[in-house]
Amino acid sequence: MRIPDWFIYSVALVAVLYVLLSQNDDDANAPQTIPEEYQLPDVTLPAPSIFDEEVLVDVEIDAGPGVGTAFAVAKAGMWLTARHVVDGCSDLAIRVGPSRIVPVDRYEIYGAGDMALLYTDGGPDATRLDLGSEKRVGQTGFHIGYPQGRPGEVTSRLLARSTMVSRGRYNVSEPVLAWAEAGRTRNLNGSLGGISGGPVFDEDGEVIGVTVAESPRRGRIYTTSPAAVLSFLDSNADYAADGEQARSLTTTNYGGEGDRLRRNLTIVKVLCQARE
């Protein structure tokens, strides 16, 4: 018996749709990756320059209730986050469970940039930092935290240095690293607000900066420079950064690793109650 042509075409169409819809959507709602013909050169990231692109960020004068991300850098209870997440808050806490929070005893801000240190009574195992090695144009970064107040991750590729100019609640100009967003984990749509203060990891699973801003229209993410983080920790930290945990990250496992780091409380959600 001859199989009708319409039946064959229907089966083929269903197969094609199944493949398209069942593909991993890590790249959903992210800008397209850089085309192969325009691959970035494999070169060391140049030093800061007066010719670096300038990025303007407006920091609201009055801080409102909000959420951000922080990550542990010392087992004694020291966490890194972004300054704009905590500056202007009357009460600060980190969430360590569905219905449990731990108050932040105090915090220190970095006067020269968008970073802050939080202190709690004890903490979990901290993650390893890599602030001294050379960074390369095109290397992969993994941003983990609580975008929109929910667990989520983004992957990116390092483009260049920029100068971020913050105006509003505080006025600061600082060198930052600019990344091109390349993909997202499942169900992460829209703004990345809330991931500020979270770590950016390299492929070795070591932290190389703090995520501080995004430019959705351009598909850019900005992180603090490693040198700035090192300077802040050297001059302001009460404890030495003693993180030891690091596990390799790839574009296929970074979602699961993000879940693990949040589950271990190495990466936490920051809750801010604004001053009245």
pLDDT digits (tens, 9 = 90+) for 171-200: 889 999 999 999 999 889 888 999 999 999
Q: Does 275 have pLDDT greater than 70?
A: no
Considering only the C-alpha atoms of the chain, give the largest distance between any 2 of them, rounded to a whole number of Å.
82
Q: Does 17 have pLDDT greater than 50?
A: no
pLDDT at 3: 52
Q: Does 35 have pLDDT greater than 50?
A: no
- pLDDT tens across 142-179, in order? 999 999 999 999 999 999 999 999 998 888 899 999 99
Q: Does 106 have pLDDT greater than 60?
A: yes
pLDDT at 43: 86
Task: Report whether 172 contacts 54 (CB < 8 A).
Answer: no
Q: Which residue has the higher pLDDT, 243 or 47?
A: 243
- pLDDT tens across 41-98, in order? 678 998 888 889 998 888 877 666 688 999 999 999 999 999 999 988 888 999 998 8
Q: Does 250 have pLDDT greater than 90?
A: yes
Residue 31: pLDDT band with limits 50, 70, 90: very low
DSSP 28-78: TTSPPPPPGGGPPP--BPPPP-TTSEEEEEEEPSS--SEEEEEEEEETTTE
pLDDT at 40: 67
pLDDT at 56: 87
24-28, 111-115, 121-125, 217-221: segment of lowest average pLDDT: 24-28
Report the topology of domain 36-58+125-227+238-264. Answer: Thrombin, subunit H (2.40.10)
What is the reported pTM?
A: 0.84
Averaged pLDDT for residues 247-251: 95
Q: Which residues contact 254 (CB under 8 A, 6 or more apart)?
A: 142, 144, 153, 155, 185, 201
Residue 6: pLDDT band with limits 50, 70, 90: very low
Q: Which residues contact 32 (CB under 8 A, 6 or more apart)?
A: none
Q: Which residues contact 245 (CB under 8 A, 6 or more apart)?
A: 125, 126, 127, 128, 205, 266
- Enumerate the domain spans of the chain: 36-58+125-227+238-264
- pLDDT tens across 194-240, in order? 999 999 999 999 999 999 999 988 899 999 999 999 999 999 999 99
Tell me the pLDDT of the chain averaged across its residues. Answer: 85
